[in-house]
A and B are shown apart, each in its own frame.
Chain A
Amino acid sequence: DAEITQSPRHKITETGRQVTLACHQTWNHNNMFWYRQDLGHGLRLIHYSYGVHDTNKGEVSDGYSVSRSNTEDLPLTLESAASSQTSVYFCASNTGTQGRRNTQYFGPGTRLTVL
């Protein structure tokens, strides 16, 4: 069965370190998204990609970067982790078809703690 996976599921790091969170989907979806979820803020879009080599900034992109070298993967990098980036991170994907087929499939999430 097609799925979307994230790794690691839990990560503790120190301020200033570079951290990369992996996202892999086997749906063959064109579109991939990264969100962070914090209490009181819901889901906020960090970066998104509409296809290979395409990346775009979302609402809260400062301090984060992504790259899309193939259809299946969209790794999220925190260049220099800050305590404000402690959060739960969700990756999602969808087909990108115009109109109705744009529901998002979410990965299980990565809980990141920056000390």
Chain B
Amino acid sequence: GQQVMQIPQYQHVQEGEDFTTYCNSSTTLSNIQWYKQRPGGHPVFLIQLVKSGEVKKQKRLTFQFGEAKKNSSLHITATQTTDVGTYFCAGLRDSGAGSYQLTFGKGTKLSVIP
């Protein structure tokens, strides 16, 4: 079945440093989504990428979707303590069969040291 690998599993950064998490799928994706889960909370949708090579920005967050639509990354510039949490990528397989299941990566847990 489809697998979505995400690295690193954990990342500790000093406040102000940059952070990147990477996501790789074993199959071509229709789209990829990113979610953030604060400690003790539930996953919250951040963004969706659909097009090959797409780059989107949300303030200090930059999201990229690979040309082959099999990998993605999330980059945070100058981390702040409010960025703490676990970031998940989730891929929707390009099955064309009306499937709406997402396959989640295991997440990257970000800790920010003030």
Interface residues of A (CB under 8 A from B): 31, 33, 35, 40-45, 48, 50, 58-59, 90, 92, 94, 96, 98-100, 102-109
**CB atoms of A100 and B48 under 8 A apart:** yes
Residue of A nearest to B98 (CB): A98
**CB atoms of A42 and B100 under 8 A apart:** no
**CB atoms of B42 and A100 under 8 A apart:** no
**CB atoms of B42 and A109 under 8 A apart:** yes
**CB atoms of B102 and A42 under 8 A apart:** no
**CB atoms of B45 and A103 under 8 A apart:** yes
Q: Which residues of B contact A98 (CB under 8 A)?
A: 98
**Among the listed B45, B48, B50, B106, which residue makes an inter-chain contact with A42, where contact means beta carbons less than 8 Å apart?**
B106
Give Cα distance in the complex from A6 to B62, angstroms: 32
**CB atoms of A104 and B102 under 8 A apart:** yes
Give Cα distance in the complex from A107 to B88, angstroms: 16
Give Cα distance in the complex from A105 to B44, angstroms: 7
Q: Which residues of A contact B48 (CB under 8 A)?
A: 100, 103
**CB atoms of B42 and A31 under 8 A apart:** no
Asked if B27 is at the interface (CB within 8 A of a chain A CB), the reply is: no
Asked if B110 is at the interface (CB within 8 A of a chain A CB), the reply is: no
Q: How many residues of B contact A (CB 8 A)?
A: 25
Q: Which residues of B contact A94 (CB under 8 A)?
A: 100
Interface string of B42-57 (1 = CB under 8 A from A): 1111001010000000
**CB atoms of B44 and A41 under 8 A apart:** no
Beyond A48-B101, A100-B50, whether A107 also contacts B42 by CB under 8 A is yes
Residue of A nearest to B106 (CB): A42
Question: Top 4 closest A-B pairs, CB basis?
Answer: A42-B106, A43-B104, A106-B42, A103-B45
Give Cα distance in the complex from A109 to B39, angstroms: 12
B51 to chain A, nearest CB (A): 10
Residue of B nearest to A108 (CB): B42
Give Cα distance in the complex from A92 to B35, angstroms: 13
B26 to chain A, nearest CB (A): 14
Beyond A96-B100, A98-B98, whether A43 also contacts B88 by CB under 8 A is yes
Q: Which residues of B contact A35 (CB under 8 A)?
A: 104
Residue of B nearest to A50 (CB): B100
